[in-house]
């Protein structure tokens, strides 16, 4: 049985395990809809979960472009490195998905630790978050690079298609002295009115002080740049995601969904600022769902880190080169 077939069978039997060992808790799906209903949100969530886990085996761009995306805005793919940022037509161009250049691709494997899946009320889209272990075979041992993953998908017919993907490495105070830069991002928006509405809805989440609470969904989730900034539910509306103010310098905004009134939208941008422990150019992705108003469903804010700095954070003085990754085994393992 192939890995994908095994995975689908396991999910069908209700075995909530992630790829690899040590899967974490999952978001309960029982409150979505009657699982026996045709095309229920619970069934769609299980399908999306299987697709996401299966996709971790690839290190290349997604093979499809959603027809629900405004082509003038396009999707987005953000990775760990400063240059790992592609939008619009660039999303389909060659470019790595996971950090560090390995001499043999088989030496790296992604394990899911905490995959959470949400499906829009109208079933037109889904968004996910996960904690990943990028496990590398080095000197006969396994080195683990912790990564954070969020993504937005469109539902087209019987398939899920990637719209926005954001992978990051948490910048802790130990690495805060490193410069945080990013490839540029050209601004684009489907409609000025929508862009302004989403700017307003998302601004409180990116602010360090708020006159009012942010408008967020019940299951809202937000990741900040540091390893300790993870907010859920009402926390996203009440607590600050960032330690210091940032200023948006460019963004791409578009709706996603069926019908004349969009129900899901996304916002991808760059912001500059910060001070103290972490400062630099921030990469931001926001997912919104329209209910009584536009509400933040998911947020991910990150600072890029280049391969050399990341490899040194993982391997220290044992690092020989980062491109390709070469480690001094004697220094790594000791006498």
What residues contact 206, with CB distance under 8 A and at least 6 apart? 241, 242, 246, 248, 271, 284, 299, 301
User: What is the per-residue burial (b if ≥16 Cβ within 10 Å, else e) of 42-58?
Assistant: bbbbbbbbbbbbeebee
Report d(CA 223, CA 146) in Å as an integer: 14
Instruction: Give the 3-state secondary structure of 72-138.
Output: CCCCEEECCCCCCEEEHHHHHCCCCCCCCCCCCHHHEEEEECCCEEEECCCCCEEEEEEEEEEEEEE
- pLDDT digit string (tens) for 149-176? 999 999 998 899 999 999 999 986 555 6
Alpha helices in the chain (DSSP H): 3-12, 41-55, 192-206, 234-238, 307-315, 329-333
Q: What is the residue whose two structure tokens read 């499809």?
A: 64
Report d(CA 190, CA 268) in Å as an integer: 13
What are the angstrom distances between the C-alpha of 243 and each of 182, 219, 228, 276? 20, 23, 11, 8
Q: What is the pTM of this model?
A: 0.86
Report d(CA 166, CA 123) in Å as an integer: 22
pLDDT in tens, the chain (335 residues): 444 443 333 333 333 334 444 444 444 444 444 444 457 999 999 999 999 999 999 887 776 778 888 989 999 999 999 999 999 988 888 778 999 988 887 888 999 999 999 999 999 999 999 999 999 999 989 999 999 999 999 999 889 999 999 999 998 655 566 778 999 999 999 999 999 999 999 999 998 876 567 788 889 999 999 888 999 998 898 888 888 888 999 999 999 865 678 899 999 999 998 766 667 899 999 999 998 899 999 999 999 999 999 999 899 999 999 888 999 998 888 76
Res 172: pLDDT? 67
Give φ, ψ of 239 to 5 degrees.
-105, 155
State the helix-helix crossing angle for 41-55 and 3-12, rounded to 10 degrees: 150
Q: What is the residue whose two structure tokens read 């045709």?
A: 38
- Enumerate helices (H) and strands (E) in the chain, giving the number of each: 6, 16
Give φ, ψ of 324 to 5 degrees.
-80, 170
Q: What is the residue whose two structure tokens read 């500059």?
A: 272
Res 249: pLDDT? 95
Report d(CA 256, CA 277) in Å as an integer: 36
What residues contact 262, with CB distance under 8 A and at least 6 apart? 194, 255, 256, 290
Report d(CA 102, CA 107) in Å as an integer: 7
CA 161 to chain centre: 15
Beta carbons of 264 and 253 less than 8 angstroms apart: no
Res 106: pLDDT? 82
- pLDDT digit string (tens) for 34-48? 444 457 999 999 999
Q: What is the DSSP letter of 20?
A: S
């Amino acid at each position: 049985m192939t890995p994908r077939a095994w995975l689908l069978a396991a999910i069908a039997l209700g075995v909530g395990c992630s790829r690899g060992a040590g899967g974490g808790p999952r978001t309960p799906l029982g409150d979505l809809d009657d699982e026996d209903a045709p095309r229920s949100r619970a069934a769609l969530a299980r399908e999306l979960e299987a697709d996401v886990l299966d996709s971790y085996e690839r290190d290349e761009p997604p093979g499809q472009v959603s027809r629900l995306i405004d082509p003038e805005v396009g999707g987005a793919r953000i990775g760990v490195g400063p240059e790992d940022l592609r939008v619009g037509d660039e999303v389909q161009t060659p470019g790595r998905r996971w950090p560090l250049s390995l001499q043999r691709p088989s030496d790296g494997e992604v394990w899911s630790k905490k995959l959470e899946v949400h499906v829009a009320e109208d079933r037109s889209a889904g968004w996910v978050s996960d904690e990943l272990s990028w496990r590398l075979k080095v000197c006969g041992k396994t080195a683990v690079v912790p990564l954070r993953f969020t993504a937005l998908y469109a539902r087209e017919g019987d398939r899920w298609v990637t719209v926005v993907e954001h992978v990051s490495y948490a910048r802790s105070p130990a690495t805060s002295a490193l410069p945080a830069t990013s490839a540029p991002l050209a601004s684009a928006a489907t409609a000025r009115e929508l862009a302004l509405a989403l700017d307003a809805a998302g601004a409180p989440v990116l602010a360090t002080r708020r006159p009012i609470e942010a408008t967020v969904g019940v299951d809202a989730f937000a990741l900040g740049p540091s390893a300790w900034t993870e907010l859920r539910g009402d926390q996203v509306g009440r607590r600050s995601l960032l330690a210091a103010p940032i200023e948006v310098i460019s963004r791409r905004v578009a709706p996603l969904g069926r019908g004349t009134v969009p129900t899901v939208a996304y916002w991808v941008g760059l912001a500059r600022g910060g001070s103290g422990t972490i400062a630099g150019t921030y990469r931001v992705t926001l997912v919104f769902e329209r209910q009584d108003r536009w509400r933040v469903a998911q947020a991910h804010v990150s600072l890029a880190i280049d391969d050399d700095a990341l490899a040194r954070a993982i391997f220290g003085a044992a690092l020989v080169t980062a491109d390709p990754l070469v480690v001094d085994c004697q220094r790594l393992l000791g006498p």
